[in-house]
Structure 1
């Protein structure tokens, strides 16, 4: 009877299997929505500033069909949610990212599953090329060469999306020159317009990085040898350097042998590889530091002889695996992000590394004013993490990266947010002269809104709350596009 009752439960995109009734990352705040929506001239509580002109985008997982097998939160089909601001008004759209694997899955199956299912080694001769898992393009968004690119963090090919309509343009190969994948959290240099990316091999001891011109030409590509397979999540980019991550979260020996996603924390230091943006693999200079893992970099820049990188450093979350989640207990435990902001300074002359923790508050999903990306930055904006097992964003933190001082805005107790974006006001005269924008959803009512907060007056809360006609599930990363870009 219990199994029958469980099988009868539904989410918006279909009935849940008994197995997935134990999976919290397909229900509640994480439940996918079933429809693509366009809504014009949305109701507003407060007033949208007249000097806010452009679009806020956020990507995230949204399974088009209720999963039947083991399902990781990272597996869901990509869906982009966006709000366009102009003349004190706002409009909303959401659209699926129609990656090649998403389309194939809707038409009978793409031939690959998610990260909690057994994988097959990449086969470059197959129709999927050298991808291992289903490519959902659900993780990140960057603006390059006039349109968006949706990126995935493992076996991804970039997917071009129209920045106004959100309709998928197609898979991006940079004129056929892309020989491998592009990982999420690759960067766009705001000064040069270059797209600088990295990627890694799941099972072989190397990673790659490359540069794409503002006109979409692949101008540089290099391979970096490593002591073994690695699973980095982000990179740093300065005016002249790429910062690659060799971190101690790796596949277990059994995971490597069986090609399964079994990871562990290895007893080895963390290393940051600093290499000229157009350099070769043998030009990487490695800086060894305390063992740690990093999901997300805040920003990076150069300061005299030093290369500076600020990031959210993971610390133990203190939660034991919870048996109530059954086979999903380990996934839930890993996703309970517990990170603090840390600065590393790597001296290119002496080889010395200096590490400085800026604060002990738990936060993640950091963003900066993208006009200052890869250059010295004073301010960053993070989500505050609720102290609970399930990943939940309870508010926002604005950091002074020089002093570690912080200002905060907390959502209502029943609300959860998403990664914000910083939107410079039209005619901005300072780095923090603008707005912090985020999707916020009430877990009790299912109603969603977009909050617009004056970045120089965080504690005052939103100057405008744009009421949305649909629910926006918890998701991943986003970006801002000024109307003139």
Structure 2
């Protein structure tokens, strides 16, 4: 196993000798790199044009106290394809809190530390490390606890500004907000850790705030994702919440109250009318696949959490609870919300453990057939050992395995230039070799998914395990 310089530094802090999310495939990288000549095994398709960009946590400084994997500063890793060639870059997301920490002026910590709710607008350090979406020709890096979006040049990955939508953003924006491919609108939500309210809004394709409203809830909630259709947005009120002592003391302490149902809130995307709530069996959902309208129903596919069955390992010491929660296990489910009757139907689609789903983004909010997920083994720490392509119409899944000791990232679907149908393109993922420390980008033929990659693009440095990515088509990228 390769041990990095950063890893040696982290392990010199006694408490973090026990933290697995600062070691191995999770260990951060120090350098920001630009590499224009990349070695390729195979051949990069010439009709692949655009950028695959993935976000993730990468601490700027060595943590001194308890460190959660989610606390690391956002870092984007991107590979840009054009004319059969590829370029790699990685850059920190220079959020306001990132810059404050560099200047020694940050007044917020991570989620394993007590929160000072009076001093910092987002309670915890806003890292913009979770998601990344393409809107109005450039990227926005987003944070899962709801923070300030950070606008980033999709070609260079350089931070452009903290995005306030011309100063009109009333609060914050959560990760997993969506871009409507038909209108170019950015549809977002926001939630409050310690107050019974959720927010929603829409920003036009020209980056102007169209509307914003707050939605009252029975109590503080911790939603992670949302969905859109052509005419609606789907919000989530899920039965995983802070404990009363967590709320009182500003600590990240969560539980699942008995008897609390899962609720899905359907709201018109033009902001008019009341929210309609649909109840379902209690569950938690990290990531949705897609949603669309079908007659009187809204159809919603997502990955439903299931117990991982793991016993906390005392070898992780005070990090054992964090490790247990991060060993994410979920299966593909379908929900149907009948707008006429108010009834909910739900059913399992597949029993294999898959998560971090992506689709052809041109199908966001529209009837789609294919989704691409990571496969997750039942291990103590979260790793992705392969990919699964689902046919949502049949429920059939086709696997692509990375191979022993090789672990990947959330993929992205990239339509080939002149694509004729939904899966006429490629699936791209960063893959890390745990034995050699080397990383590469795999390019798979979406229609020949289980076969060997069309190309393996060697990267100049390791890409640590991380969170979410996106595809930015070359013809939609504009200089920021």
State whether TM-score is above 0.5: yes
Count residues in correspondence: 471
1:434-473 matches, within 5 Å, as 434-473=425-464
Give the SS at the match of 2:475.
coil
Which of 18, 26, 32 is the aligned partner of 2:28?
Answer: 32
Alignment-derived partner of residue 264 in structure 2: 272
Task: Give the structure, 1 or 2, with the largest relative contact order (CA under 8 Å, sep 6 or more).
Answer: 2
Alignment-derived partner of residue 110 in structure 2: 114
The answer on whether the counterparts of 1:133 and 1:155 sit within 8 Å (CA) in structure 2 is no
* Alpha-carbon distance in 2 for matches of 1:389, 1:193: 40
* Alpha-carbon distance in 1 for matches of 2:209, 2:6: 45
Alignment-derived partner of residue 418 in structure 1: 409
Give the SS at the match of 1:11.
helix
Query: How much has 1:15 moved relative to structure 2?
Result: 5.7
Query: How much has 1:279 moved relative to structure 2?
Result: 2.5
The answer on whether the counterparts of 2:336 and 2:346 sit within 8 Å (CA) in structure 1 is yes
The answer on whether the counterparts of 2:201 and 2:271 sit within 8 Å (CA) in structure 1 is no
The 1:12–1:309 alpha-carbon spacing in structure 2 relative to 1, beyond 3 Å, is farther
Which of 15, 18, 23 is the aligned partner of 1:22?
Answer: 18
Structure 1 position 327 matched with structure 2 position 323: no
The answer on whether the counterparts of 2:10 and 2:22 sit within 8 Å (CA) in structure 1 is no
Query: How much has 1:402 moved relative to structure 2?
Result: 1.3
Which of 342, 365, 376 is the aligned partner of 1:385?
Answer: 376
Write the deviation string for residues 417-474 of structure 1: whole angstroms up to 9, x where unpaired: 0000000000100100000000000011100000000000011121000001100000
Write the deviation string for residues 302-346 of structure 1: whole angstroms up to 9, x where unpaired: 001001110000000101211111111111111111100001000
Which of 216, 219, 225 is the aligned partner of 1:228?
Answer: 219
Give the SS at the match of 2:189.
strand
Alignment-derived partner of residue 94 in structure 2: 98
* Alpha-carbon distance in 1 for matches of 2:241, 2:267: 23
Alignment-derived partner of residue 136 in structure 2: 145
Give the SS at the match of 2:224.
coil
Query: How much has 1:16 moved relative to structure 2?
Result: 3.6
Which of 421, 424, 437 is the aligned partner of 1:433?
Answer: 424
Query: How much has 1:408 moved relative to structure 2?
Result: 0.7
Structure 1 unaligned spans of 5+: 1-8
Structure 1 position 296 matched with structure 2 position 296: no
Alignment-derived partner of residue 44 in structure 2: 48
Alignment-derived partner of residue 348 in structure 2: 357
Write the deviation string for residues 236-287 of structure 1: whole angstroms up to 9, x where unpaired: 111111101000010011101101000011121100000101235x611100
* Alpha-carbon distance in 1 for matches of 2:49, 2:73: 29
* Alpha-carbon distance in 2 for matches of 1:155, 1:67: 22
The answer on whether the counterparts of 1:294 and 1:313 sit within 8 Å (CA) in structure 2 is yes
The answer on whether the counterparts of 1:97 and 1:137 sit within 8 Å (CA) in structure 2 is yes
Write the deviation string for residues 151-196 of structure 1: whole angstroms up to 9, x where unpaired: 0011410000011111100100001111111000000001100000
Alignment-derived partner of residue 342 in structure 1: 333
**TM-score w.r.t. length of structure 2:** 0.97
Alpha-carbon RMSD across the aligned residues, in angstroms, is 1.1
Give the SS at the match of 2:105.
coil
Structure 1 position 245 matched with structure 2 position 258: no
The answer on whether the counterparts of 2:199 and 2:215 sit within 8 Å (CA) in structure 1 is yes
Give the SS at the match of 1:64.
coil
The answer on whether the counterparts of 1:14 and 1:65 sit within 8 Å (CA) in structure 2 is no
* Alpha-carbon distance in 2 for matches of 1:141, 1:13: 29
* Alpha-carbon distance in 2 for matches of 1:144, 1:236: 16
Which of 193, 200, 216 is the aligned partner of 2:207?
Answer: 216
The answer on whether the counterparts of 1:78 and 1:136 sit within 8 Å (CA) in structure 2 is yes
Query: How much has 1:403 moved relative to structure 2?
Result: 1.5
Runs of 4+ aligned residues of structure 1 deviating over 6 Å after TM superposition are none
Write the deviation string for residues 30-74 of structure 1: whole angstroms up to 9, x where unpaired: 000000000012010000011101110000000011111111110
Query: How much has 1:10 moved relative to structure 2?
Result: 5.3
Alignment-derived partner of residue 6 in structure 1: none
